[in-house]
Amino acid sequence: MKNEFDILIVDDEQVVIDSVVKMGKIYNYKVDSADNPFVALTKIKENSYRLIICDIMLPSMNGFQFIDELQRQGIDIPIVMTTGYSTIDNAIQSIYKGAIDFVPKPFTFDELTATLKRAMKYSELINLKNKAQHKQIIYVSCPSKYFRFGYSCWVKDEFNGTILIGATNLYLKTIDNIRKIEMPSVGEKVNQAETFAKFEDDEGLIHNLHSALSGRIVEINEKLLTNVSILEKDPYFEGWICRLIPSEYENEKRLLIPCSSDR
């Protein structure tokens, strides 16, 4: 019988492993570790894990190659990528390859806590959906004509040169009790995979939402500033977050997933 763990941390820095173990003890997560992807692959065959946290820069096999190997072997465990080489390209590549989040190093304990709480909730929701009967709704997928970047940020082409972007219902359900949202300013430029909105929960933890596209913000949904519950009630229509004029739409659209594929 396989040993059951909540988290497998794959990193060759002991300080990072220690941080995840410390956080795990606070929230009663059972944490296992591996200092390289080959050890991790062996452990995955021998044990059960709900979540993997993996560094990009690793000896012998980097984090992206590790994701490719997991997919080749049909191993479907949610994965969060980390790296000390925090670049937009690394963030984009992580999410494009299927990671549910990207955390740059060095991270604070609160940043790690927020990310892992969200990731563990994601794992729980996906597991529930896989086990649910056909009519049970665990979360609402974005409309079929929309696109999404990873699992978190949706895109709607307004066909007038502007794009609406917002947070998916699945992403919002990974955050307990959103009490405040922070949005960019009109005129501000954002890049794909950069944080463009932040959500604060009841514990005061900040949850980052990565932009699906690069562009210039031309409008924000000011109603959310005074009534954040709109996000939960209607995330795909009244709950849009920003309107932007995209700067690299055709190039970046190829990295988006059609929401019609979720059906």
The mean predicted confidence, pLDDT, of the chain is 93
- Domain extent listing, the chain: 3-131, 147-262
The answer to whether the CB of 94 falls within 8 A of the CB of 150 is: no
> What is the structure's pLDDT at 141?
94
> What is the structure's pLDDT at 131?
80
> What is the structure's pLDDT at 2?
78
> What is the structure's pLDDT at 177?
92
> What is the structure's pLDDT at 135?
59
| Whole-angstrom distance, CA of residue 263 vs CA of residue 43 | 33
Rg (CA), the chain: 18
pLDDT in tens, 191-208: 999 999 999 999 999 999
The pTM score is: 0.93
- Consecutive 10-residue averages of pLDDT for the chain (263 residues): 89 92 92 95 95 92 94 95 84 93 89 93 90 75 96 95 97 95 96 95 95 97 96 96 96 94 81
Q: Which two tokens stand for residue 54?
A: 């993996």
Pairing type for strands 257-258 and 3-10 reads unpaired
CATH code of 3-131, in short, is: 3.40.50.2300
> Percent of the chain, pLDDT > 70?
98
Q: If we measure between CA atoms, which residue out of 59, 57, 12, 52 comes closest to residue 32?
A: 52
pLDDT in tens, 162-186: 999 999 999 999 999 999 999 999 9
Lookup result for tokens 């670049």: 87
> What is the structure's pLDDT at 124?
93
CATH code of 147-262, in short, is: 2.40.50.100
| Whole-angstrom distance, CA of residue 235 vs CA of residue 155 | 12
> Percent of the chain, pLDDT > 90?
83
> What is the structure's pLDDT at 159?
86
